[in-house]
Chain A
């Protein structure tokens, strides 16, 4: 009566002949275990932090002890980006004087990259000391952090030899606001 139907739902007819011991199946129903195993598997796969953080290295220059130690920058090597609010981006070549004209740029892939690459060749060929380009990045207080990172990124892409983030001068701020 209390038979365990282990023979795959076969007939209940007793086989005549030798009395056999009850044949137990060696199969265990593994379905619940598998369910659990896959549940755990899914959980751990999702909980694992796959995206390890990627980082960009930034190096700020150390302040020289006295101002005489700062080497003079020939104007051919200088390129300045002014970063303003609302993704405004302007640039000028050379050092700031009365004749300085600000040009418009934007954050599209071709803009900054082209300016920097073109000027890199120029700086190398026409400057007195034949050193590479020096890019100065100056941002106003209300510029977005993203814009700064974007410019740093372009510097890494173009492999600009020197770049630094600097404090914006009051005259530059005025010019940026006026444009």
Chain B
């Protein structure tokens, strides 16, 4: 009896559908990715059941664990008009190039007199640059200027405060007072989402 010969199948498999899918996903992620803006401090936010999502049209105040305040605003065009206004008001003497740099960068927290230096740094130098936060004490409340001008640019932007868990209430209170002074009574606190407990009994 002759041995049954199994037909020798090629070890290759057709990868075309897999490649199709892979590239489809690549394209999807490439188009939808919005890179997370680099943040000067790591902030460990408290958690809550609140689930509102803020991903556009916001003014973001980040508060680091030592109480240093950082400012950020959504939308390139708004940032551009904001820096124009601030430049005019505070006589910062910024060049067009520096203003454009501001329009595309993330959070920042330096006093006005260091702003020009910060904007002139190369991106990698900027991440290393030690930012101590925007001064918000009563002698010269620069944070007030930031918020006031940002509200003038667009009053409909939502205000979000992203605070570290360990920030003292004093710092938080200071920011709230500044916000209220600018008639922003309604704002948002950024928190980590946690499951809502069942309160029905």
Contacts and interface: CB of A to CB of B under 8 A. Distances in A.
Interface of A: 8, 27, 30-31, 33-34, 37-38, 40-41, 44-45, 47-49, 52-62, 83, 109, 113, 117, 139-150, 152-153, 156-158
B199 to A, nearest CB: 6
B46 A150 contact: yes
Interface residues of B, number: 55
Given A47-B33, A53-B55, A144 B48 contact: no
B190 to A, nearest CB: 5
Contacts of A146: 46, 165-166
A45 B29 contact: yes
B48 A53 contact: no
Contacts of B22: 34, 37-38, 41
B163 interface: yes
A41 B29 contact: yes
A32 B116 CA distance: 47
Nearest to B177: A60
Contacts of B42: none
Contacts of B197: 109, 157
A34 to B, nearest CB: 6
B186 A56 contact: no
**CB-based closest 10 A-B pairs:** A56-B50, A44-B29, A55-B188, A146-B165, A141-B170, A153-B48, A37-B22, A145-B167, A143-B169, A149-B46
12 contacts: A27-B12, A49-B34, A53-B55, A53-B160, A54-B48, A55-B191, A56-B48, A56-B191, A60-B180, A61-B185, A140-B169, A149-B189
Contacts of B29: 41, 44-45, 48
Contacts of A153: 48-50, 191
Which of A37, A52, A54, A113 has the most chain B CB atoms closer than 10 A to its own CB?
A54
B55 A54 contact: no
A144 B190 contact: no
B33 A44 contact: yes
Contacts of A40: 26, 30
A55 B49 contact: no
Contacts of B34: 48-49
B129 interface: no
A30 B36 contact: no
A52 B53 contact: yes
B169 A141 contact: yes
Contact of A48 (B15, B16, B23, B32): B32
Interface in B152-183: 160, 162-173, 176, 179-180
A165 to B, nearest CB: 8
A105 B13 CA distance: 66
Nearest to B196: A157
B52 interface: yes
Interface string B74-100: 000000000000000000000000000
Contact of B26 (A37, A54, A62): A37
B121 interface: no
B113 interface: no
Interface string B1-37: 0000000001010011011001101100110111110
Nearest to B37: A49
B192 interface: yes
A30 B15 contact: yes
